[in-house]
Homo-oligomer: A and B are copies of this chain.
């Protein structure tokens, strides 16, 4: 196997509007953990191993974690996409190398990016949380966060929004990490949309309040990435693979409904919740439905599950942020949802990715919007939510237009 599976570099696309992508991924490079764990733990950090069959895996605490091919498809011909494990030298370097990534962002007209982990960490750090040795797990999690801040975000601080992984195994330690990380520049945290599916306390308990209070106090955005809890709504056996990604937005829908009814965004009115890779086309349903159910509830607003003076739909519009990848219906839906709470993603380097044509996709789908609305959705809302710098101009890469 070799890099021959990779397509040639694409030419830079013309820029219709700068983009801040709030859902991309990084593939952890093999040297991520080097020099980042305490001496007594360093030799037990995750490491990349070569199998006899030419594939590569991460090894951690005796378990193996492949880099799934479909999670690193950018720059590869469609007929090479698969669920099979992928080698680093079969990936486009932008998957794991920040210099190459920023170059790929420039090609694509993406000013800034929020990058989630890949499978060796779990989208929300669940692999480290599940460590047999919790001290080692916390050390690995901190190493991941340190590397993310120092290397991934630190090399080009204006181009990457720092996203931390949370320590889920102890909510008080986790809350302290949120505060410490906010102090050193992290703006967001990846959090499971259904903690109970990871064996953790349910969102309907008040277990998570200390960590959520730390997020609300520090302005750390809670990013719930579809699938981070390894649960999907698949009631019927035997579906074709395509059903799973078709239903990605349903995780966000159910998560939004659960978190709303949990009362968390009422208890923490300043908590910002971003539904990463959650889509936008279902939001009208939830807006309509939550208020209707409250009005038809046996218990009603006084003694029942809903507290506070606002309607559930008002809290949904206040605390939650939605993410579009390529949704033609957004043009009709945007005012129902709220133009100020819609952001976009390019999902580099997954199979869903619009790279390198994110600009063309946006232009095709949203090009007819008024310029102020287009700019809010493409980057201004994200810059405001994540307190990230705006691009100096539309041609920051000196050559784009």
Q: Interface residues, chain A, CB within 8 Å of chain B? A: 70, 78, 81-82, 194-197, 202-205, 229, 231, 233, 235-243, 245-250, 253-254, 257-258, 261-262, 279-290, 292-294, 296-300, 304-306, 325-329, 332-333, 335-336, 351-352
Contact = CB atoms under 8 A, between A and B. Distances in A.
A242 B299 CA distance: 9
A237 B197 CA distance: 9
Nearest to A328: B288
Contacts of A305: 240-242
Nearest to A83: B298
Contacts of A304: 240, 242
B236 A296 contact: no
Nearest to A287: B329
Contacts of A294: 242
Contacts of A300: 78
Identify which of A196, A202, A298 gathers the most chain B CB atoms within 10 Å of its CB.
A298
A235 B240 contact: no
Nearest to A258: B236
19 contacts: A204-B238, A229-B235, A233-B250, A236-B258, A242-B293, A242-B294, A243-B258, A245-B293, A250-B250, A279-B285, A281-B286, A282-B285, A284-B327, A288-B327, A288-B329, A292-B326, A329-B336, A332-B332, A333-B336
B282 A325 contact: no
Q: Which 4 A-B pairs have the closest CB atoms?
A: A281-B285, A240-B305, A284-B329, A204-B238
A304 B78 CA distance: 13
Given A249-B285, A284-B284, A284-B333, A297 B197 contact: no
A333 B261 CA distance: 25
Contacts of A195: 236
Contacts of A239: 204, 258, 261-262
B204 A237 contact: yes
Contact of A233 (B70, B233, B333): B233
Contact of A253 (B250, B299, B306, B352): B250
A194 B296 contact: no
Contacts of A205: 238
Nearest to A80: B298
A377 to B, nearest CB: 15
A202 B286 contact: no
